[in-house]
Amino acid sequence: DGEVDFKEDAKFAQHLKKDEAVSEFAKTKTLSQQRQYLPIYSVRDDLLQVIRENQVVIVVGETGSGKTTQLTQYLHEDGYTSNGIVGCTQPRRVAAMSVAKRVSEEMETDLGDKVGYAIRFEDVTGPNTVIKYMTDGVLLRETLKDAELEKYRVVVMDEAHERSLNTDVLFGILRKVVAQRRDFKLIVTSATLNAEKFSQFFGSVPIFHIPGRTFPVNTLYSKTPCEDYVEGAVKQAMTIHITSPPGDILIFMTGQDEIEAACYALAERMEQLISSTQKAVAKLLILPIYSQLPADLQAKIFQKAEDGARKCIVATNIAETSLTVDGIFYVIDTGYGKMKVYNPRMGMDALQVFPVSRAAADQRAGRAGRTGPGTCYRLYTESAYLNEMLHSPVPEIQRTNLGNVVLLLKSLKIENLLDFDFMDPPPQENILNSMYQLWVLGALNNVGGLTDLGWKMVEFPLDPPLAKMLLMGAKLHCLDEVLTIVSMLSVPTVFFRPKDREEESDSAREKFFVPESDHLTLLNVYQQWKSNDYRGDWCNDHFLQVKALRKAREVRSQLMDILKQLKITLTSSADWDMVRQAICSAYFHNSAKQKGIGEYVNTRNGIPCHLHPSSALYGLGYTPEYVVYHELLLTTKEYMQCVTAVEPHWLAELGPMFFSVKESDTSLLEHKKKQKEEKTAMEEEMENLRKEQAETEIK
């Protein structure tokens, strides 16, 4: 029942001796005093000296030492922004936004003025901006327009230890920039000690260590494996709150759903506790944080709790190294995290829950020792830690779909991807599979070069199938409708389903259902919102998230700008079958055939997939023989997310390399024959690539 039984530990009492003065620090000191207290401050001048003398420097320092917030400011103070700007990349959007806000406060400037940030579909920088935080994806896209990154004097590649896909690709690209521009400086930062690899990659460049200032963390393991870690974490947090001395709590979970469930349960337990006891109960401030949480709620985790209250932050692995909250004395680690994993055999990406690595678990524990000696409760056994967890995480480039990367590198005229400077090359099978997928979408030709369609697809900051969907919408004269759908798919869910009003909100959602399609349901929602003058109160009345809809509107207008640049005109169609065809043309690789009520199997690989209970098709009991879906969600079952009914002959016409129809028409047969030849040609090409690679490996 989620009961966690911790080993007795004599050292357990040590956290009681924590330094009260330290935890009071942030409450009483000015921002500039706080800056000077950070570990990086003590080595400021030495660090700047090393940077002056070297073009590339690796900086290693514990999480919270001040790398992200201070380094950019030091560079600014040292004059680097007199000709060019300082850019700092982050693997996570939340971190880019949050850190930019903090630095703008420290520099006493408005966010978007001297200090700004840019994430996909959101650019908060201006003509005065000299320090720009951005996601690594944003910088990667900038290299498309400006290969030498002329406007940057220094780029800080932050959180390199995360080894995000985009950071890994940037490594290869920035190595070229460093060779071409003597005036350009590159700083790579890492929270972990294995920075030697980064140094080697750039030709044995210096590694600068920021001295740490951390306190011991007492790590306690669960005696037995925990069956329900959400429940286990909630119980542990309540125990700490009731029995342990002051100090905030940080819980690591895998994702939004769990975090919300945990927060809800915590609030409930607190209510029960308060109503069942005569004694005064200290307040518990329950604060979720995950990437899709609105920015104003994200910022709350940094606010100081009122006197006597305790903060309990429930986070994804974003709080591992990207964001540092001071005052955490207790960490509860479930031992799990979510990762996007590409399975080349299935030919698809899936977000899956995995045990974290030992390196990640140690980072998590370390969060408890920032302001004083702390305690980390691991909801797994010591044996699981020692024997079942990987030493360190697998770099994203080795485990996800490379469609976007391949498209991008191809457009940078990197002909042979197997020759690109990858620090850790992705499995060849992944590259070839991604190329195959792009070829199937029509973005690559038979010899692996970009087609006209492919060149256009690169222009959009979207996954290849979504870009294809847009361009097919233009071709089928229903761009207006498809544009809305693509925008709605690029924002968090617009449906609001509060815990205690599930039935009410479900029936509100049902009113928007278009029987044959969740995509069209999204279109319907947006169009109705529009005809109600984009009103916020209308959203509230219909259980819709106004923020998500506004975001969709913004994304829509930005995609519209790109379409205008490409001189593609906006067409609209009342025939929504056309819209479904555009969807089908981009997602036929995610098509499924009905096997039973609500049960489908993927048409290519036979993997079972199910209609989600929230789907319009499920709700209205309409179960077509063939569907395509946006993505597969692996939870207790494989659920298709965002489903649309399609006609089998659309699959044959729009995704011909996968599907055949029984036909008598000879011209169709010839067409198919040609396509078969093309497919063979592509396969030969890929075989050649394979051979080439094998040869270079022998050399």
Residues that bind ligand ADP (CB under 6 A): 38, 61, 63-70, 98-99, 101-102, 302, 324-326
- CB of 326: closest distance to ligand ADP in angstroms? 5
Cα dist. 646→577, 587, 595, 607, 617 in Å?
A: 9, 11, 16, 19, 12
Of residues 184, 209, 216, the one with CA closest to residue 194: 209
Pairing, β 284-289 against β 131-135: unpaired
Output the smallest distance, CB 66 to Mg ion, in A. 8
The contact pattern for Mg ion, residues 63-82, with x = CB under 5 A and - = no contact, is ----xx--------------
Smaller CB distance to ligand ADP: residue 60 or 689? 60
CA atoms 143, 149, 151, 155: torsion sign = positive
d(CA 5, CA 2): 9
Exposure string for 69-90, b = 16+ CB within 10 A, e = fewer: bbbbbbbbebebbeebbbbbbb
The neighbour count for residue 659, using CB atoms within 10 Å, is 18
Strands 599-602 and 608-611, bridge-based pairing = antiparallel
Distance of closest approach, residue 35 Cβ to ligand ADP, in angstroms: 8
Residue 69 binds which entry of ligand ADP, Mg ion, none, CB below 5-8 Å type-dependent:
ligand ADP
65 binds, among Mg ion, ligand ADP, none (CB under 5 to 8 A by kind): ligand ADP
Q: Which residue's CB is nearer to ligand ADP, number 161 or number 610?
A: 161
**Residue in 630, 645, 641, 529 with CA at minimum distance from that of residue 589:** 630
- Give dist(CA 366, CA 94) in Å, integer: 21
Least Å distance, CB 74 to ligand ADP, is 11
- Assess 334 for contact with Mg ion (CB under 5 A): no
Residue 64 touches which of ligand ADP, Mg ion, none (CB < 5 to 8 A by kind)? ligand ADP
Of residues 371 and 615, the one with the C-beta less far from ligand ADP: 371
Least distance (Å) between residue 160 CB and ligand ADP: 12
How long is the chain?
A: 699
38 is in the binding site of which of ligand ADP, Mg ion, none (Cβ under 5 to 8 A by kind)? ligand ADP
Burial class (CB in 10 A: 0-12, 13-18, 19+), 509: buried
Chain position whose Cβ is nearest to Mg ion: 68
Q: Are 238 and 266 in contact (CB under 8 A)?
A: yes
Cβ nearer to ligand ADP, comparing 99 with 318: 99
Shortest CB 113 distance to ligand ADP, Å: 17
Q: How far is the CB of 367 from ligand ADP (least distance, A)?
A: 11
With respect to ligand ADP, which residue has the nearer C-beta, 36 or 507?
A: 36
Rounded CA-CA distance 487/550 in Å is 10
Which lies closer to ligand ADP via its Cβ, residue 70 or residue 81? 70
Q: Which is nearer to Mg ion, 62 or 518 (CB)?
A: 62
Least spacing, CB of residue 213 vs ligand ADP, in Å: 11
Q: Which of 69, 109, 106, 113 is nearest to 90 (CA)?
A: 69
Q: How far is the CB of 112 from ligand ADP (least distance, A)?
A: 16
Size of the site for Mg ion (CB under 5 A): 2
Nearer to Mg ion, 132 or 410 (CB): 132
Q: With contact defined as beta carbons under 8 Å apart, do 397 and 431 qualify?
A: no
Which CB atom, from 90 or from 524, has the smaller least distance to Mg ion? 90
Q: Which does 464 bind (CB under 5 to 8 A by kind): Mg ion, ligand ADP, none?
A: none
Residues that bind Mg ion (CB under 5 A): 67-68
